[in-house]
Structure 1
Amino acid sequence: MSQLANIKQNIDTIIGADELMERIRAGKKLRIKLGVDPTRPDLTFGHLVVFNKMKQFQDMGHDCILLIGDYTATIGDPSGRSDTRPVLTEDEVRANAETYLEQAFKILDEDRTIVRYNSEWFNEMSFGDTLNLARKMTVARMLERDDFAKRHASNSPISIVEFLYPLVQGYDSVMLESDVELGGTDQLFNMLVGRQLQKDAGQPEQAVITMPLLVGLDGVKKMSKSYDNYISFNHTAKDMFGRIMSISDETMWDYYRLLLLMDEERIEHHKSDHPMVAKKHLASSLVAMFYSLADAKHELEQFEQVFAKNQRPDDMPEFQWDSLSGGETTCPLLNLMAGTDLFPSKKECRRLVEQGAVKVNDESVSDPKAILDKPADELVIQGGKRKFFKVLG
């Protein structure tokens, strides 16, 4: 595949394409910028879409800069937000940044990735420097942003700090002298600010490439931990496989396209298979990407054992009765389930029980007030389709 075809694969928007191709034809080694704010400890498959594009540039021999926004994370990116993000402490940002790198190098080549932190320059700026940067943008221009415009129209608060965020992100491009900036479609405004600031600084303007936002497990909203519809780089092989298998048949093809970088001809080939077969292939391929072929094969076998053959999985978490019950000889089922931390909340445990989605030793239980006795040996509890655990007496 040619460089141009690689660059254009799966993109949503490219701005500055002509200048970019001129630099490529001139043999320039491009500086590719991808910024991530460590606002949460996990990267998700939504990030994988953009990391895949960075990896393509890396494989073409260009300089790829992973910018850790440790400074901007303390501000909070307002992109796509209807309210102000919570402020993180420096310790939280630092801890998240460390795990971001561990996760990023599951996709990117660590030896060929340049890692920078925007605190390198922003910690050195004076308040006067900040005011000079703020003069580069008008309030009217900021309100052209869709999310700002909506919040302003609805009288929702917008802090001055949030107004500064696009300028701060754009200034990163000046400091890195980037030729290309990558991001999701929700980052377009911020990246265009980078072009403007580079022009003001007398630098060649970066090309801007936006990637589609990956739809989450609900098949509606973009993948986000805030919506609990995500798959993270750090999910276990089991959870990763199970979550992928839960997506809709329609959503599956976007995952093939954006996460596996599969071309349309091969996607059409998989569409000729039964959807369940195609989804198992997708789940196996993605688990192998983050773990191994052996792990992917194991999770496929376990999935088929549980779902196709209606059997228990071979391996499941084990808990001691006394640690869940407080040493009592009887315990409410909901307390046992909630005490494992396998479920989001006790409310979710209750919902599963009331829906008849919980089994104790293969017997369905639908009473949320059910009390269980301490077993002589063990109990096997199933909550929903995928979660099994043992309680040892």
Structure 2
Amino acid sequence: MNQDQSNSPNAAARPAALPLSDRVNEALAIARRGVDELLIESEFAQKLARSEHSGQPLRIKLGLDPTAPDLHLGHTVVLNKMRQLQDLGHQVIFLIGDFTSMIGDPSGRNATRPPLTREQIEINAKTYFAQASLVLDPARTEIRYNSEWCDKLGSRGMIQLASRYTVARMMERDDFTKRFRDGTPISVHEFLYPLMQGYDSVELKADLELGGTDQKFNLLVGRELQKDWGQEPQCILTMPLLEGLDGVEKMSKSKGNYIGITEPANNMFGKVMSISDTMMWRYFDLLSFRSIAEIAGFKAEVEAGRNPRDLKVALAQEIVTRFHSQQAADDALADFVNRSKGGIPDDIPAISLAGAPLGIGQLLKQANLCASSSEALRMVEQGGVRIDGAVVSDKGLKVDAGQFVLQVGKRKFARVTLA
């Protein structure tokens, strides 16, 4: 992995001699880039000015629940913003919600989220900070787990916390309102989630909390609870949700439309190249560290006739370089060009299977190229299966013993020995 932080979104040092007002305006401009909302901006400007004057960094919080073992590019939208604020000299707090994961965040859900076990959470949490450190500077990041204080609350503390918010206020959440109107069950424990997330801000004395647009209600709860505890309320900064490879749903591992930040370089490059030309600009805006002016220049070039594929290559190389290396990005480009010409990658897995002759559905399933035989047969119907470069059109095909290369779609290959 590439640990060189020189291509962070704000790696260049700020001129130290700027007047206070200019330094605050510069920090505000960096904070605003690509955001959906910054609330309350005037309060945040005051916090920045106080921090610049006193030399005391702001405490900036981001909480992530370890609901899956891997982070994807959608998570890095907000992590990139954290890094920008970190490079301004502020204290960023990466909060792993090992306690709140047991409740399950109802944000954007139309049904109760199944709670995770403590064992699942611990396994997932182990990888989170290591992956986040591919964006954040780990030496300057405070890592916390909210079980530190949530476990200590106990029944009495939980009841006292719940008394600080009304059901009417909870029902202001759009997802709760919709589910109630539609007659979809809402479990009582789901009301606890925004309260616990808000209580995290109290314990951490956060000055600013970041999250996706679907987190706005929860972040505002943090402001209210801080007021109740006599603290200055945090400001909130929401980042847009990045659409996945389908260009429709938000990026999610459960939806299969994601690009994991620890995926092999070739996979990462190929997935970026698969997004639509229109969606490419969304990815540039939310993921690229290039300046707004440079991206605008790219758009003008496309309007003037430049092939958008050239710029998609530049975006794919930038992202692969960030999480791997420049050499890996160059190799991934060469591999992509080779595949585009019908070539076979060098690094495909070699698999030995028995049972010849084997039906094509079972063969693709056993070679781990499809999750099931039915999925394999659908891929055959769609013309997405090849054996040694030849398209397979017969769903009833039985493959005899031998050695051959299987291909599913554009990116899945296996060198198979069937006996």
TM-score, with structure 1 as normaliser: 0.95
Instruction: Note if 1:382 corresponds to 2:410.
Output: no
| Partner of residue 391, structure 1 | 416
1:7 to 21, 31, 37: 31
Whether the 8 Å contact between 1:257 and 1:263 is mirrored in structure 2 is: no
Residue pairs, 1:252-267, within 5 angstroms: 252-267=280-295
Distance in 2 separating the partners of 1:287 and 1:346: 33
The alignment's C-alpha RMSD in Å is 1.3
Whether the 8 Å contact between 2:208 and 2:236 is mirrored in structure 1 is: yes
Whether the 8 Å contact between 2:34 and 2:286 is mirrored in structure 1 is: yes
Residue pairs, 1:190-229, within 5 angstroms: 190-229=218-257
Q: Which letter maps to 2:211?
A: G
Distance in 2 separating the partners of 1:245 and 1:274: 13
| Partner of residue 277, structure 1 | 310
Identity of aligned residues (%): 48
Residue pairs, 1:145-294, within 5 angstroms: 145-271=173-299, 272=301, 273-294=306-327
Whether the 8 Å contact between 2:369 and 2:408 is mirrored in structure 1 is: no
| Partner of residue 47, structure 2 | 23
Instruction: Note if 1:47 corresponds to 2:75.
Output: yes
Whether the 8 Å contact between 2:112 and 2:186 is mirrored in structure 1 is: yes
Residue pairs, 1:324-339, within 5 angstroms: 327-339=354-366
Q: Structure 1 stretch 47-56 or stretch 336-345: which is displaced more?
A: 336-345
Aligned residues: 385
Distance in 2 separating the partners of 1:294 and 1:349: 34
Whether the 8 Å contact between 2:209 and 2:235 is mirrored in structure 1 is: yes
Structure 2 unaligned spans of 5+: 1-13, 15-25
TM-score, with structure 2 as normaliser: 0.90
Distance in 2 separating the partners of 1:179 and 1:345: 49
| Partner of residue 324, structure 1 | none
Give 1:349 shift.
1.4
1:213-232 Cα shifts (integer Å, max 9, x gaps): 10111111111122221111
2:136 to 85, 102, 108: 108
Give 1:71 shift.
0.1
Q: Which letter maps to 1:162?
A: E
3-state SS in 1 of match to 2:338: helix
Whether the 8 Å contact between 1:287 and 1:295 is mirrored in structure 2 is: yes
Q: Which letter maps to 1:354?
A: E
Give 1:359 shift.
1.3
| Partner of residue 95, structure 2 | 67
Instruction: Note if 1:355 corresponds to 2:355.
Output: no
Give 1:348 shift.
2.2
Give 1:391 shift.
0.6
Structure 1 unaligned spans of 5+: 322-326
Give 1:392 shift.
2.5
3-state SS in 2 of match to 1:64: strand
